[in-house]
Amino acid sequence: MTSPFTLSIILPAKNEAGAVGTTVAGIRALYPHAQILVINDGSTDDTAEMAKAAGASVITHPYSMGNGAAIKTGARHATGEILVFMDADGQHDPADIPRFLAKLDEGLDMVVGARQAGSQASVGRGLANGFYNRLASWMTGQNIQDLTSGFRAVRADKFREFLYLLPNGFSYPTTSTMAFFRAGYGVAYIPIHAAARIGKSHIRLMKDGVRFLLIIFKIGTLYSPLKLFLPVALLHLIVGLGYYLYTYTEFNRLSLASVFLWSAAVTIFLIGLVSEQITQLMYKDSDNRSRH
C-alpha cells in the first residue's frame, strides 16, 4: 500500500495467550511502524504479557467489559487514520491486511473480510450468518456478504462517528456495518478464509442464540424501522380482515378479535413511522458531530 495514511491495528483479546503473540508477531513483521493495540478485556491468563513480548501496546480493562467495549477502547486510543480490527485468536491472517488497505485506497470508507465456505466454526453458525446476511441485504438494498465478520479496515474519523451506537457485546460488526450503509459511506467486501481459532470460543449457544435473534430486530430498527414494522402491521391487518370475513359469513357479526388486530396494525405502523423519524434524526445528529 502506498497510501501516506498512518495505521492502527486493534485486537480485542480475552484469554488469548495461546494465539495473541503469534498474531502480533505476524502483524509486526508486515508493518513494523504501525501502532498495534491489544485490548486485554479482563483476561485471567498471560494474554497481556504475550502481547507485549511480541511488540504490541496493551490496554487492559480491569474486568471483562465485552468485545464491543474493547473495540471502542481501541478506537479511542488509536492514533492512526486507518483502523484495522481483527481477532487475536488466530482466525484472521495478518497477510490479508495489505488487501484490505489496497481496497480501502480505492476511495472506500470500510472494507470487510467476507468469510468463504469452510471458514465458519460450525454448520449452525454458518446457516445463521447466511440468514443474517440475507436479512441485512434486504433491509439495506445492498449485497452484504458477511454481516458479523470482525476482520475489517475503516477510516478512523468515519468509525468514531458511530462509537455511541456500538454495543459492548459481540454485535459491533453488525452495528457498524449497518451504520456505515445508513450514512451513505462506501463499504466493500473482500474474500478471506478464517482458520480454526486457537483456544476456547467465548460464544455460548443458548445465550448468544438469543442475542443473535435480537440482532435481527436491531438491524431493522437501526437501518430502516419501517421495513421491519410495516410487514408486521400488514400481517395483523390481513389476519384481522380474514377473521372478519369468517365471522361475518358464519355468524353475521364483527368480532372484537378483528377490531383488536386492526387496532394493533395501526399502532405497529405508527410506531414504525415514529421510529423511522427518530432514526433520521439520529443520523442527522451524527452528521452534525462529524462536521464539528
pLDDT tens-digit series, residues 187-218: 999 999 887 756 555 555 556 556 666 776 77
pLDDT on residue 222: 74
Of 142 and 37, more confident: 37
| Tens-digit pLDDT profile for residues 255-271 | 999 999 999 999 999 99
Q: How far apart are CA 74 and CA 121, in angstroms?
A: 26
Average pLDDT in the chain:
86
> Which of 156, 169, 151 is closest to 23 using CA atoms?
151
Q: How far apart are CA 170 and CA 154, in angstroms?
A: 18
One-letter amino acid at 115 equals: R
In this predicted structure, the answer to whether residue 122 has a pLDDT above a threshold of 70 is no
Long-range CB pairs of 159-163, under 8 A, 24+ apart, other chains included: 159/75, 159/83, 159/110, 160/75, 160/76, 161/286, 161/289, 161/290, 162/286, 163/72, 163/75, 163/76
pLDDT band at 178 (very low <50, low <70, confident <90, very high): confident
Rg (C-alpha) for the chain, rounded Å, is 22
* SS3 label, residue 83: strand
Q: How far apart are CA 58 and CA 37, in angstroms?
A: 6
In this predicted structure, the answer to whether residue 72 has a pLDDT above a threshold of 60 is yes
Q: How far apart are CA 122 and CA 106, in angstroms?
A: 34
pLDDT on residue 67: 92
The grid cell for 139 is 433491509
pLDDT on residue 279: 80
In this predicted structure, the answer to whether residue 59 has a pLDDT above a threshold of 60 is yes
Q: Which residues of 122-141 are buried (b: 16+ CB within 10 A; e: fewer)?
A: eeebeebbeebbebbeebbe
Count the Cβ atoms, other than its own, within 10 Å of residue 99: 16
pTM of the model: 0.80
Q: How far apart are CA 61 and CA 73, in angstroms?
A: 9
In this predicted structure, the answer to whether residue 57 has a pLDDT above a threshold of 90 is yes
Average pLDDT rounded to a whole number, residues 3-15: 87
- For the sheet with 187-192, list strands across it: 57-61, 35-41, 7-13, 82-85, 152-155, 110-115, 187-192
> Which of 67, 68, 78 is closest to 15 using CA atoms?
67
Lowest mean pLDDT segment, chosen from 153-167, 195-209, 271-285: 195-209
Count the Cβ atoms, other than its own, within 10 Å of residue 173: 22
- Residue range 7-222 forms a domain whose CATH class is alpha beta
> Which of 96, 108, 188, 113 is closest to 155 using CA atoms?
108
Half-sphere exposure of residue 140, counting CA atoms within 13 Å on the CB side?
Answer: 28
10 Å CB burial of residue 250 (0-12, 13-18, 19+) is: exposed
Average pLDDT rounded to a whole number, residues 118-134: 68
Beta-bridge partner residues of 8: 35, 83
